[in-house]
Amino acid sequence: MSTAALHAEHEAHHEHKESFISKYVFSMDHKMISKQFLITGIVMGMIGMIMSLLFRLQLAWPDDQFSIIETLLGKWGVDGKLDPNFYMGLVTIHGTIMVFYVLTAGLSGTFSNLLIPLQVGARDMASPFMNMLSYWFFFMSSVVLLISVGVETGPASGGWTVYPPLSALDKAMPGSGLGMTLWLVAIVLFIVSSLLGGINYISTVLNQRTKGMSMNRLPLTIWAFFFTAVLGLLSFPVLLGAGLFLIFDRSFGTSFYLSDIYLEGVGALENIGGSPVLYQHLFWFLGHPEVYIILMPALGITSEVISCNARKPIFGYTAMIISLLGISFLSFIVWGHHMFITGMNPFLGSVFMILTLIIAVPSAVKAFNYLTTLWKGNLRFTPAMLFSIGLVSFFISGGLTGIYLGNAALDIQMHDSYFVVAHFHLVMGSAAIFGMFAGIYHWFPRMYGRMMNNTLGYFHFWITFICAYLVFFPMHFMGLAGVPRRYYQFTLVEQFDVWIDVNKLITVSAIVAGAAQLLFLYNFFVSVFRGKKAAQNPWGANTLEWSSPIDVRLHGNWPGDLPTVYRGPYEYSRPDREEDFFPQYVPDESAPEVLEPEKAKSAPAEKEVEEESSVFFAAIKRVFGLG
């Protein structure tokens, strides 16, 4: 029996006293760990957002002084003017925080942890201990990254991709010193966290499903988390490899990435024979799957929320899974489209281009399936539903520009311009964060047993939605006009001076969007303590998490036996039922498996643990339901 099952049994027998430390700090309960991920993610998200507002101030009013900049940044903002080196640092750390800490750990960590055991019907993760370690590695990583912002020479400032040689030579710029070292330490800790988490997610989905929960009855959330974890498991080790080489180049004097470099004040370096493009290959082999690691959990959450709130089965359940699979597979063979201008062979470039454009097919399948699910549904516009629809909007408008950028010929023109910034902030940034908000509003009752305030939720949605478009849409035009990203002040370049008013619009919209997040924070934290008590299944959803009691905290999830699953997760508005939903865990009195239990089609149950030699085949059989 697994640890969690033992634990549940243990709890079922006597009232369980837990210390504060084991309950809230080093908790091994996946529900508590998901809250830890969420709160840390929210804190990191606020920090990342404030950083973006600071550098937006600089971009919109490059000649003005803001006392808040001096107050917050001290020597980096003397006289209220943002220091150019620190501007680069802010951009870098904003990217790192948002990509890794908010949208990877904050999104996938929160909802994979909360939903995988609950929706597949498991007591806890395969290894609750590893799960706890996963959070604490993430926490340490966050702390190290935040410390790096405060060091004397400033944080890493070579962009979130930290390309060598800039990042490999500590004398290249102030940010390449201690700040860069700490950045690498933080990322290595982050990789460990994400591998520990991912191993658990995959193992739990494949190996710990409850009776009757065959793979084709899994909610799409679980499918999305599963593919996300597989992507992470296969791509993060490659980033670790890239990081190892970089660490050795930085700290021990090897020349993996370094060759023929002359540094002002230092002279010619001894490093010969290294290949800086090698780093880009290794980095983007993670980097491209990473954008799907960010996006796919949001897509999964959206599938669930849209189907539930349209009171309709999701359109094309199998097509949704196959498109996730297609996106996952393709994501590993398109990394070259980030490197069109590294001087790669044009033939290789066109191979990467074709593969990249093929991603439009599964993505379009998903977009159309969302729209057809909404079509003629009994739509309930809860805040979660609005955020999900917002995700679909961003996914389409941001995805379309991906087709531009995937073309090598166009990308050579638009590379490193604001067009790219607009593209990825819409399709990956805004879309994923909207998926995260949808998840928070939808599963808040499941996490805290209380409801969030709807009115504040509507304000939060509309302000954020409108402002996100106001911020990122104009950037397309700036990019097309050739405005380069990462510049500290482009009023100094005459031809870009005309964009100053657009920059002001963007910055004002960003500030308003930031203020709207305060509404969310207020709503979130007040509702945790004072929100209206939630009903057991407030949204009338079908999935298993709503069968586990939401008003008591129970490590082991179900007080009695694990629930049995009788059908797929999207049986909404069945014509033969009075209610418009039919939960997975409710037996159908007229169904053959209830009348004749021995004929029930269910997942293989209490079998002996398989022999060592057949573990792999047993897993395969289990995956394909042959067991």
Q: Is 275 in the site for another protein (CB under 8 A)?
A: yes
Q: Please select the residue that binds another protein; options are 164, 274, 289, 383, rule is CB under 8 A.
A: 274
| Nearest distance from C-beta of residue 349 to another protein, angstroms | 16
What residues contact residue 52 under an 8 Å CB cut-off, 6+ apart? 90, 94, 510
Site mask, another protein, residues 557-576, x = CB under 8 A? --xxxx--------------
The Cα 433–Cα 294 span in angstroms is 9
The window from 146-154, 265-273, 413-421, 586-594 that contacts another protein (CB under 8 A) reads 265-273
Q: Is 465 in the site for another protein (CB under 8 A)?
A: no
| Nearest distance from C-beta of residue 562 to another protein, angstroms | 6
Q: Is 597 in the site for another protein (CB under 8 A)?
A: no
Q: Please select the residue that binds another protein; options are 85, 259, 350, 537, rule is CB under 8 A.
A: 259
What residues contact residue 53 under an 8 Å CB cut-off, 6+ apart? 507, 510, 511, 514
Nearest CB to another protein, comparing residues 149 and 246: 246
Nearest CB to another protein, comparing residues 132 and 618: 618
* Phi, psi (degrees; rounded to nearest 5) at 242: -60, -45
| Nearest distance from C-beta of residue 477 to another protein, angstroms | 38
| Nearest distance from C-beta of residue 167 to another protein, angstroms | 17
* Phi, psi (degrees; rounded to nearest 5) at 572: -100, 150
Nearest CB to another protein, comparing residues 267 and 575: 267
The Cα 144–Cα 138 span in angstroms is 10
| Nearest distance from C-beta of residue 561 to another protein, angstroms | 6
- Count CB-CB contacts under 10 A for residue 601: 10
Nearest CB to another protein, comparing residues 426 and 562: 562
Contact status, residue 398 vs residue 466, Cβ threshold 8 Å: no
CA distances from 468 to 348, 376, 428, 435, 481 (A): 36, 28, 12, 14, 21
Q: Is 587 in the site for another protein (CB under 8 A)?
A: no
Nearest CB to another protein, comparing residues 163 and 488: 163
Nearest CB to another protein, comparing residues 311 and 621: 621
Q: Please select the residue that binds another protein; options are 108, 127, 331, 397, rule is CB under 8 A.
A: 127
Assigned token pair, 501: 């008013």
What number of CA atoms fall less than 13 Å from residue 624's CA on the CB side? 6
Q: Is 625 in the site for another protein (CB under 8 A)?
A: no
Q: Please select the residue that binds another protein; options are 33, 202, 305, 565, rule is CB under 8 A.
A: 202
Q: Is 161 in the site for another protein (CB under 8 A)?
A: no
Q: Is 12 in the site for another protein (CB under 8 A)?
A: yes
Q: Is 579 in the site for another protein (CB under 8 A)?
A: no
CA distances from 81 to 57, 78, 439, 458 (A): 10, 6, 39, 36
Contact status, residue 248 vs residue 214, Cβ threshold 8 Å: no
CA distances from 214 to 384, 544, 627 (A): 28, 13, 11
| Nearest distance from C-beta of residue 583 to another protein, angstroms | 21
Q: Please select the residue that binds another protein; options are 28, 47, 195, 386, rule is CB under 8 A.
A: 195
Q: Is 70 in the site for another protein (CB under 8 A)?
A: no
Q: Is 1 in the site for another protein (CB under 8 A)?
A: yes
Q: Please select the residue that binds another protein; options are 53, 234, 351, 466, rule is CB under 8 A.
A: 234
Helix (H) or strand (E) holding 267: strand 267-268
What residues contact residue 204 under an 8 Å CB cut-off, 6+ apart? 116, 117, 120, 122, 125, 126
The Cα 320–Cα 307 span in angstroms is 12
Q: Is 8 in the site for another protein (CB under 8 A)?
A: yes
| Nearest distance from C-beta of residue 606 to another protein, angstroms | 5
Q: Is 248 in the site for another protein (CB under 8 A)?
A: yes
* Phi, psi (degrees; rounded to nearest 5) at 378: -85, 80
Q: Is 13 in the site for another protein (CB under 8 A)?
A: yes
Q: Is 254 in the site for another protein (CB under 8 A)?
A: yes
The window from 166-174, 270-278, 379-387, 588-596 that contacts another protein (CB under 8 A) reads 270-278
Nearest CB to another protein, comparing residues 151 and 234: 234
Assigned token pair, 131: 């799960």
* Phi, psi (degrees; rounded to nearest 5) at 581: -145, 160
Nearest CB to another protein, comparing residues 318 and 613: 613
The Cα 369–Cα 304 span in angstroms is 12
Q: Determine the straight-line distance between the first and last CA of the chain, rounded to whole angstroms.
A: 20
Q: Please select the residue that binds another protein; options are 150, 616, 624, 626, rule is CB under 8 A.
A: 616
Contact status, residue 228 vs residue 293, Cβ threshold 8 Å: yes
The window from 70-78, 139-147, 203-211, 462-470 that contacts another protein (CB under 8 A) reads 203-211
Nearest CB to another protein, comparing residues 255 and 388: 255
The Cα 320–Cα 226 span in angstroms is 13
| Nearest distance from C-beta of residue 386 to another protein, angstroms | 37
Nearest CB to another protein, comparing residues 4 and 433: 4
Q: Please select the residue that binds another protein; options are 284, 285, 395, 465, rule is CB under 8 A.
A: 285
| Nearest distance from C-beta of residue 266 to another protein, angstroms | 18
The Cα 542–Cα 426 span in angstroms is 31
Q: Is 208 in the site for another protein (CB under 8 A)?
A: yes
Burial class of residue 224 in the structure, from the number of CB atoms within 10 Å of its CB (0-12 exposed, 13-18 middle, 19+ buried): buried
The Cα 177–Cα 42 span in angstroms is 29
Q: Which segments of 313-406 does DSSP mark as H helices, in order?
A: 317-331, 346-358, 360-374, 383-406
The window from 98-106, 140-148, 402-410, 553-561 that contacts another protein (CB under 8 A) reads 553-561
Exposure string for 249-278, b = 16+ CB within 10 A, e = fewer: bbeeebbbbbeebeeeeeeebebeebebee
Q: Is 17 in the site for another protein (CB under 8 A)?
A: no
How many residues bind another protein (CB under 8 A)? The answer is 71
Site mask, another protein, residues 529-548, x = CB under 8 A? --------------------
